[in-house]
Homo-oligomer: A and B are copies of this chain.
Amino acid sequence: MTKKPGDRIARQLDQAAEACAAKGGRLTDIRRSVLALIIGSGGPVGAYALLDQLKAERANAAPVTVYRALDFLMENGLIHKIERLNAFVACTESGDHEHHEHSVQFLICRKCGTVAEMEDHGIAAAVSKAAGRTGFRPDHATVEVEGTCGSCTSAA
């Protein structure tokens, strides 16, 4: 094995820090820890699950500690909130974390619990078009699809 998983995460964190800095934000220790926990979890994580883990590093961490970090990470496009789950996932759109952020969709597998991120222009266009027909001016669309992922379907 040439790379340990920690290396991959460390690289992602460094990239994230750069991206924040470029926007005038700072990926502080707390924020970095929370992001690392989310990336490391490999799936959707609740705020209090993060809090429990964070307490291993920072005994004094409180809910608000986590939520402040989550807010920052969301504002910077590093994580997404999955509304159906009240949970958070790492953003998998590598690199440019700014110009899309509006036409993102999620595929939630009911079997294995994984959440895949997708960016499909066709969906975004269909939403825009349908909303526009009623005179509605869309700002942001939450699209979360539940079902069975390819792996689980094959395994079945």
Name A residues whose Cβ lies closer than 8 Å to a Cβ of B. Answer: 83-84, 105, 107, 109-110, 116, 118, 120, 122-123, 125-127, 129-131, 134-151, 153-154
Contacts and interface: CB of A to CB of B under 8 A. Distances in A.
Q: Could you say how many copies of this chain the assembly holds? A: 2
A25 B137 CA distance: 39
B145 A138 contact: yes
B142 A118 contact: no
B143 A127 contact: yes
A140 B130 contact: no
Contacts of A141: 143-146
Contacts of A137: 147-148, 153
A84 to B, nearest CB: 6
A125 B129 CA distance: 13
A57 to B, nearest CB: 30
A20 to B, nearest CB: 24
12 contacts: A107-B136, A107-B138, A110-B139, A120-B130, A135-B153, A136-B147, A136-B149, A139-B148, A141-B144, A141-B145, A141-B146, A142-B145
Contacts of A154: 135
A47 B126 CA distance: 32
A143 B2 CA distance: 42
A151 to B, nearest CB: 8
Given A116-B136, A125-B126, A126-B125, A131 B143 contact: no
